[in-house]
A and B are shown apart, each in its own frame.
Chain A
Amino acid sequence: MLAGRKGGVVVSRPQAVRADLEQVFRSAYPRVVAVAARVLGSRSEAEDVAQEVFLTFGRSAVPAGEALGWLSVAAAHTALNHLRSGRRRAVREVAARDSVTSVPDVADAVVTLDERRRVRAALARLPRKQAVALVLRHSGLSYAEVAAALDLSPGSVGTTVRRAEIALREELNRHASSE
């Protein structure tokens, strides 16, 4: 009944590790790392997230055919959770840097490390559904896959992604123009 480790009444989750773990890992690991890296902007952090996600997957009963979609969504959520926990720090760093750096325009800015921090802060501020849709879409999932993952109609995926992109651009612009 509960997935958490502690609780009043617990129906335990399966403890055994699934037999197809290595096979799924080898085919899906690059995708899972890439999803997390888009959020975190750091490969080592992304690999930590991927480990976490595969550990959970290893004990799950997710059907093999749905594994890639499940893992991608889990990677996006877990990476965004990591962002949230580090959000205060990220926002503070952005605030500190805003006062000393000069960013001429958004397109140039995105390549800088500084910009990475802004992207992280912007992603952390987006509504969760928008952030996940944005990251999954930019990780190559189709509209149908994103729709299934987020319980959206394929028609509204475009709207959700578009809103996220506008919000992201505005966040980046806001910082760029507040110099």
Chain B
Amino acid sequence: MRHPNDGTLRRLLDEPAGVADADRAHVAGCPQCRAGLAAAQRDAAVATEALSGDLTAHVDAGWQRLSTAVATRERPRKAPARRWRIRSPLVAAIGVAALLAGASAAAAGDWLQIFRTERIAPVTAPEADLIKIPELDEFGELTPIEPIQIRQVTDAAAAAKATGLTVPRVTDLPKGVSGEPTYHVGARASALFTYSAERAEQTARAKGHTLPPPPPGLDGSQFRLTAGPGLAAMWGEGRPTPGLVVVRAVTPTAYSTGVPFGTARDYLLSLPILPANVAAQLKNFSAEGTTLPLFMSVEHMKSTATEVGGVPATLLTSRDRTMAAVLWLDGTVVTAVAGPLSGDEVLAVARGMGPR
């Protein structure tokens, strides 16, 4: 008979019961396999030795430390669970220039469009680094113009009417998800951001850094950030986490009164307060201001390039396999399908959706 493979020999050392009787009998009578088994045993012994060490743990001390950390980190629960929301994030990173929320082109007047979303790309970093990314208001004044307001509407038709977007129709629900979704809409949101060299300097000083002088014109520059309108369909609303969420929204755009995107971006990326690995990834984005970064922690999420209906898409899956999302852009509209599902399940929903 054929010799059992290396993996079977290896398992024979740990779990002989997991190996087929025929394989066990073969190894017992085959000098070549017995030699392979002996080699596996030697290597396993080296590994056991190499991976040994002080493995004791102090449970009580550990628990005390954890409960303190939990208590310090715990933030009051945000009232009413807003399942999706738009943050003012990246902005901080690409700084000023970047993203979210904003005024329409019509309202822009003499505003110069400096950022429009044409592409979404993941930026991955350890969670500890993501937490270090400064918020936009650490660089200046952020004033909401059209605040983010999300409300429930009666049905898909009402959601379409409120947002002007086509509501995706989900035909095949994944296993475990059933019933009719609830619909939620958010009108366009926008905010005005005024860069303050003084505020930025304070932020930097608090973190033990000194900033290089800002480029001419940046101090006091205004940026208008817009995003939305958007809609969401949620299944399993009554549960702690919805079973499936489909979100569609108009992507973020940013306008400036003067400072070009590249100038603000280069300056912000040169600042010592951004984690180096995050800055390095942002530097690779096009200088035109068309890539929306998606910040992901390497500990929790991984991203894969895929497609939905022939359009490039990004699949995100959590490493603990408890959550997946796929999102894609069509013109200025981003659509996402997410839930406590597998990557294949969210892809199946996305690809089976009509009308896209």
CA distance A26 to B62 in the complex (A): 9
Could you jot down 25 A-B contacts, CB within 8 Å? A2-B295, A2-B296, A4-B300, A5-B295, A6-B295, A8-B334, A9-B86, A9-B249, A11-B83, A11-B84, A15-B77, A21-B66, A33-B55, A33-B62, A38-B55, A42-B53, A56-B300, A74-B319, A77-B299, A110-B49, A135-B51, A143-B15, A159-B6, A162-B6, A162-B43
For B300, the chain A residues whose CB sits under 8 A away are 3-4, 56
Given the complex, which residues of A lie within 8 Å of B297, measured CB to CB?
Answer: 3-5
User: A60 contacts B296, CB within 8 Å?
Assistant: no
Within 8 Å by CB of B241, from A33, A61, A78, A158, lies A61
Quick one: which of B64-121 are within 8 Å of A by CB?
65-67, 69-70, 73-75, 77-78, 81-87, 89-90, 92-93, 99-100, 120
Distance of A153 from chain B, by nearest CB (Å): 10
User: In the complex, which residues of chain B have a beta carbon less than 8 angstroms from the beta carbon of A125?
Assistant: none
Closest-CB distance, A46 to chain B (whole angstroms): 8
> Quick one: closest B residue to A50, CB to CB?
B62
* Nearest A residue to B58, CB-CB: A47
Given A11-B83, A159-B10, A169 contacting B245 (CB threshold 8 A)? no
A22-B320 Cα distance, complex, nearest whole Å: 20
Q: Give A157 to B74 CA distance when docked, in angstroms.
A: 39
Smallest beta-carbon distance A100→chain B, Å? 21
For the residues of B in contact with A, the DSSP-based class is: mixed
Q: Does B11 contact A (CB under 8 A)?
A: yes
Q: How large is the interface on A (under 10, 10 to 19, 20 to 34, 35 or more residues)?
A: 35 or more
CB neighbors of B among A124-167 (8 A)? 134-135, 137-138, 142-143, 151, 154-166
A151 to B344, CA, bound (A): 14
In the complex, chain A residues whose CB is within 8 Å of the CB of B296: 2-4, 7
Interface contact B51-A119, CB-CB below 8 Å = yes
B50 near A37: Cβ-Cβ < 8 Å: no
List, in ascending order, chain B residues with CB within 8 A of A15's CB.
74-75, 77-78
Q: A50 to B69: give the CA distance in the assembly, Å.
A: 12
* Known contacts A1-B327, A1-B338, A14-B240; is-contact A138 B15 (Cβ 8 Å): no
Binds A, one of B125-133, B170-178, B202-210, B212-220: B125-133
B281 CB–A CB distance under 8 Å: no
Indicate if the CB atoms of A51 and B69 lie closer than 8 Å: yes
B51 lies within 8 A of A9 (CB): no
Given contacts A29-B57, A78-B299, A162-B40, contact A9 B50 (CB under 8 A): no
A21 neighbours in B (Cβ, 8 Å): 66, 70
B320 touches A2 (CB 8 A): no
Chain A residues with CB under 8 Å of chain B are 1-12, 14-17, 21-22, 25-26, 29-30, 32-34, 37-39, 41-43, 46-47, 50-51, 54-56, 58, 60-62, 70, 73-74, 77-78, 81, 85, 106-107, 110-111, 115-116, 119, 122, 134-135, 137-138, 142-143, 151, 154-166, 168-169, 172
Are B46 and A169 interface neighbours, CB within 8 A? Answer: yes
User: CB-CB < 8 A to B292: which residues of A?
Assistant: 8
Count, chain B residues at interface, CB 8 A: 91
CB-nearest residue of chain B to A74:
B320
When each residue 274-309 of chain B gets 1 if its CB lies under 8 Å from chain A and 0 otherwise, what string results?
Answer: 000000000000000000111111111100000000
Measured between beta carbons, the chain B residues less than 8 angstroms from A5 are 127, 130-131, 133, 295, 297
Chain A contacts for B269, CB-based, 8 A = none
Q: Which A residues are CB-close (under 8 A) to B18? A: 143, 154
Give the shortest distance, in Å, between B66 (CB) and chain A (any CB).
5
Digit string of B230-251 for contact with A (CB within 8 Å is 1, else 0)? Answer: 1000000000110001010101
Contact indicator A8/B294 (Cβ below 8 Å):
yes
Q: How far is the CB of A2 from chain B (nearest CB, A)?
A: 7
Contact of B322 among A12, A60, A143, A159 (CB under 8 A): A60
Give the residues in chain B near A156, CB-CB below 8 Å. Answer: 7
Q: How far is the CB of B233 from chain A (nearest CB, A)?
A: 13
> Is B154 in the interface zone, CB < 8 Å from A?
no
A24 vs B113: C-alpha distance when bound (angstroms): 52
Decide yes or no whether B9 CB sits under 8 A from chain A.
Answer: yes
Give chain B residues whose Cβ lies under 8 Å from the Cβ of A154: 18
Of all chain B residues, the one with the shortest Cβ separation from A34 is B55
A25 to B59, CA, bound (A): 8
Q: Contact between A62 and B49 (Cβ–Cβ < 8 Å)?
A: no
Closest B residue to A30 by beta carbon equals: B57
Shortest Cβ gap from A10 to chain B (Å): 6
A166 and B240 contact, CB distance less than 8 A: no
Complex interface: chain A residues within 8 A of B32 (CB):
none
Chain B 15-48 against A: per-residue CB contact (8 Å), 1 yes, 0 no?
1001000000000000000000000101110111
